[in-house]
Amino acid sequence: MSDDLVKILDGNTFVVSDGRGDIEASLTDPTGLFSSDTRFLSKWVLTVDGQRLNSLSVDNLQYFETRFFLVPGTGTVYVDAKLSVIRQRAVGDGFREELTILNHDNTPVDLKVRVEAASDFADLFEVKDALEKKGKYTSRIEDGKLLLAYERETFKRSTVISATSPARIDENGLTFDVRLEPHGEWTTQIDVAATVPAVGKRSGGSARKRRRKNMEGNLERWLADAPRLECDWEPLRTTYRRSLVDLAALRFSPSITPGKSLPAAGLPWFMTMFGRDSIFTSLQALPFTPELAATTLRTLGLWQGTRIDDFRDEDPGRILHEMRYGEMTAFEERPHSPYYGCADATALYVVLLDEYERWTGDKKLVRELEYEARAALNWIDEYADLTGNGYVSYRRRNEKTGLENQCWKDSWDSISYRDGRLPAFPRATCELQGYAYDAKLRGARLAREIWKDPKLADELEKQAADLKRRFNRDFWVESDAYFALALDADGNQVDALSSNNGHLLWSGIVEKSKAKAVVRHLMGPRLFSGWGIRTLAEGEGRFNPIGYHVGTVWPFDNSFIAWGLRRYGFKQEAAQIAAGILNAAAFFDGRLPEAFGGYEQAETKYPVQYPTACSPQAWSTGAPLLLLRTILGLEPIGNHLVVDPALPSGIGALALLDIPGRWGRVDAFARGEIDLNRRRELQPQLGAPGQVAARRR
């Protein structure tokens, strides 16, 4: 997706247009007005007297609102424009566009203003995979409104377009006959409503206006409620604010459970509920906006699997992978109603529940979700061990449309041996064992302290200790001293060196005696690029610096690795990762993409964005938040928040004020080292701790 496109969003409704505000979508490109995974407008083109407009500037007012300043004329030279056109658009159950035309001339002018509209009602899956439609289209005029509709059996979707000024409406759009006096002004409001009859009723005009007011107030409250950041390294302040605003934008209220919101995964492909992404993002944001975690836990619990269903890869106790509302899901051409094919979210669900209680002290929710948490723990033992060797593994049962790789590295070639061969299924990737270990220990704490079930607690702790012992034996690549990426179907090591080693530190499954060797690999030249840790080490058979999961650097991945490094006492290394990722964020104006190229930092000087990465993307948005937690060394212990900072060099002073939690609100302060000689640089970059001292020597 090209970056000059303008995107505004609210929950799972979003508009992607060109810099003029126009939409001319082909089947395969993700421009248009989308809602509930369906495209409601694929064409939206404004002309004045038959002429297209030129963009002078675009103001992104809010994440849900933008303003385009335009002038007529399609050439590269538009000297002395006599007209200005302002298009202001806000999203929310469709969108509303205020169109204003100004006459700068001393003579009156008559104009024909035209908006062409059409919709292909494509399912987002069809846009992604370029598939054909099966239903019927109609376009008609009803009560002075243009109605575009699509129908396939009982499945109905429609777009209703209306304007506040008199318009001539035909099946392809609206025409306004406008007379402008000298220095006069004309304005109209065009309302585009995306209606899904089955999934809730659309609110009327005044209700939408109220909603919009709420959205503005809501964003202000959201920002005011989050901890305040003070820092002498300016890019971090920018990144922090960007993260909070993007997280607000990505909040998603599933249309069947309105009024509650959790983080959706990312624009444009993944504006929906994802088990794994929602959990990781909630973990990253816990010290800042703990309410996201509460909603994530409640909502994913509500949808927890209850039966065995091969089409959806569903089992009792399994946490969902992805939920969709579009046509292909409705007709079961895709299994996302919801789809359960992921092998990590279920253990991570228990991890989040425990971490949430440690921060907030909300025992009530832990009691409320006892059934779900127990069912999740039970899934690990009863359904996830596919080969009977005591490890969590995965193999899809839906062989047509299910996911092959059910771990976070879910592309087809992500799991490989050193020589590049791909293993057979089931595959037991290493981080899944770490998550299971962590879930058992955290589940044990909840069982002992909150559910008052010491027997279960003892049993879980015993299982965890056994898992750790076996794991450190079976996954350890003795010759090179790191953990294998996975075990294959026969229990042999899939021996490529990968970033997954870092997740193992986060989960605590690594024996203390092995940690140093693991960290040496993570920070070594094959994995560490200078910006961050690559998904796959340089030199492995499938390594490619711009391969989705086989060489790129993922900010989310790195944020959890940094947390893992801290867990094992590697403060300096954690700060070095934070430095790399936060430096990269500064290149993207504070908005980290999903992934960037795994090129050596010295080679490119700037981070190269992965070509089709989602942006904003929830767990990239959350990465700077978790990195802040990590460099401040924030850790809830009992009713207190422990602060134990280790900052990258380049930050002299860092304060995070009003951190919410079971302690009420507390402040964290940290001081670091800055190099006064480097102050004059245009864009000073952060470095590993100790660098300043080294340079001075």
Partner 1 sequence: MADSTAEFFRELGRRGHEPLLEKAVGIVRFDLVEGKRTDRWLVTLDKGDVSVSRKNVAADCVVRGERALFDAMARGDVSGMAAYLRGELTLEGDPELLVLVQRVLPGPATRRARRTRTRGGSGQR
* CA distances, 424 to each of 95, 357, 415, 490, 553 (Å): 48, 39, 10, 9, 26
Residue 455 sits at φ, ψ, to 5 deg, of -65, -45
Name the DSSP class of 202. P
Q: Rank residues 186 and 311 by Cβ distance to partner 1 and give the closer one.
A: 311
Residues 6+ apart with CB under 8 A from 455: none
Shortest Cβ 413–partner 1 spacing (Å): 30
Q: Rank residues 371 and 412 by Cβ distance to partner 1 and give the closer one.
A: 371
Torsion, CA 580, CA 583, CA 589, CA 594, rounded to 10: -10
Report yes or no: 552 and 598 within 8 Å, Cβ to Cβ: yes
Report yes or no: 38 and 66 within 8 Å, Cβ to Cβ: no
Report yes or no: 111 and 103 within 8 Å, Cβ to Cβ: no
Name the CA radius of gyration of the chain, rounded. Answer: 27
Shortest Cβ 458–partner 1 spacing (Å): 16
Q: Rank residues 253 and 558 by Cβ distance to partner 1 and give the closer one.
A: 253
Residue with tokens 């080490």: 537
Q: What is the three-class DSSP state of 647?
A: coil
Distance CA 287, CA 318 (A): 27
Q: Rank residues 342 and 659 by Cβ distance to partner 1 and give the closer one.
A: 342
**H-assigned helices in 61-151:** 124-129
Count Cβ neighbours within 10 Å for each residue of 198-236 and write b for 16 or more, e otherwise: eeeeeeeeeebeeebeebeeebeebeeebbebebebebb
Half-sphere exposure of 411 (CA within 13 A, CB side): 10
Q: Rank residues 246 and 314 by Cβ distance to partner 1 and give the closer one.
A: 314
Q: Rank residues 72 and 335 by Cβ distance to partner 1 and give the closer one.
A: 335
Shortest Cβ 198–partner 1 spacing (Å): 4
Q: Taking each helix axis from N to C terminus, what angle separates 234-250 and 205-225, rounded to the nearest 10 degrees?
A: 140
Shortest Cβ 331–partner 1 spacing (Å): 7
Shortest Cβ 256–partner 1 spacing (Å): 5
Q: Rank residues 198 and 657 by Cβ distance to partner 1 and give the closer one.
A: 198
Taking alpha carbons only, the member of 33, 14, 63 closest to residue 215 is 63
- Reading phi first (left if > 0) and then psi (alpha if -120 to 50, else beta), residue 434 is in alpha
Q: Rank residues 376 and 625 by Cβ distance to partner 1 and give the closer one.
A: 376
Shortest Cβ 455–partner 1 spacing (Å): 12
Q: Rank residues 172 and 255 by Cβ distance to partner 1 and give the closer one.
A: 255
Q: Rank residues 271 and 659 by Cβ distance to partner 1 and give the closer one.
A: 271
Q: Rank residues 191 and 459 by Cβ distance to partner 1 and give the closer one.
A: 459
User: Measured in whole angstroms, how far is the alpha carbon of residue 117 from the centre of its chain?
Assistant: 31
Shortest Cβ 645–partner 1 spacing (Å): 41
The token duo for 243 is: 């993260």
Shortest Cβ 36–partner 1 spacing (Å): 9
Shortest Cβ 307–partner 1 spacing (Å): 3
Q: Rank residues 337 and 544 by Cβ distance to partner 1 and give the closer one.
A: 337
Q: Rank residues 26 and 306 by Cβ distance to partner 1 and give the closer one.
A: 306
Which residues of this protein are in contact with partner 1, per CB under 8 A?
153-156, 197-200, 256-258, 301-304, 306-312, 314, 316-317, 325, 329-332, 337-338, 368, 370-372, 374-375, 378-379, 381-383
Name the DSSP class of 637. E
- Reading phi first (left if > 0) and then psi (alpha if -120 to 50, else beta), residue 287 is in alpha
Neighbours of 512 (CB within 10 A): 8
Residue with tokens 């992805």: 322
Report yes or no: 172 and 139 within 8 Å, Cβ to Cβ: yes
Q: Rank residues 318 and 566 by Cβ distance to partner 1 and give the closer one.
A: 318
**H-assigned helices in 251-304:** 275-285, 291-302
Shortest Cβ 136–partner 1 spacing (Å): 15
Half-sphere exposure of 9 (CA within 13 A, CB side): 33
Residue 219 sits at φ, ψ, to 5 deg, of -65, -40
- Strand bridging mode 640-642 / 635-637: antiparallel
Q: Taking each helix axis from N to C terminus, what angle separates 623-632 and 275-285, rounded to the nearest 10 degrees?
A: 40
Shortest Cβ 119–partner 1 spacing (Å): 18
Report yes or no: 654 and 632 within 8 Å, Cβ to Cβ: yes
The token duo for 5 is: 């496109």
Shortest Cβ 324–partner 1 spacing (Å): 9
Report yes or no: 202 and 45 within 8 Å, Cβ to Cβ: no
Shortest Cβ 275–partner 1 spacing (Å): 15
Shortest Cβ 332–partner 1 spacing (Å): 5
Shortest Cβ 447–partner 1 spacing (Å): 11
- Strand bridging mode 653-661 / 428-429: unpaired
Q: Rank residues 270 and 379 by Cβ distance to partner 1 and give the closer one.
A: 379
Distance CA 366, CA 437 (A): 19
Shortest Cβ 199–partner 1 spacing (Å): 7
Q: Rank residues 334 and 566 by Cβ distance to partner 1 and give the closer one.
A: 334
* CA distances, 564 to each of 410, 476, 627 (Å): 22, 18, 11
Q: Rank residues 156 and 237 by Cβ distance to partner 1 and give the closer one.
A: 156
Residue 428 sits at φ, ψ, to 5 deg, of -110, 90
Shortest Cβ 320–partner 1 spacing (Å): 11
Is the preceding omega at residue 616 within 30 degrees of 0, hence cis? yes
Name the DSSP class of 321. S
Q: Rank residues 316 and 652 by Cβ distance to partner 1 and give the closer one.
A: 316
Half-sphere exposure of 123 (CA within 13 A, CB side): 25
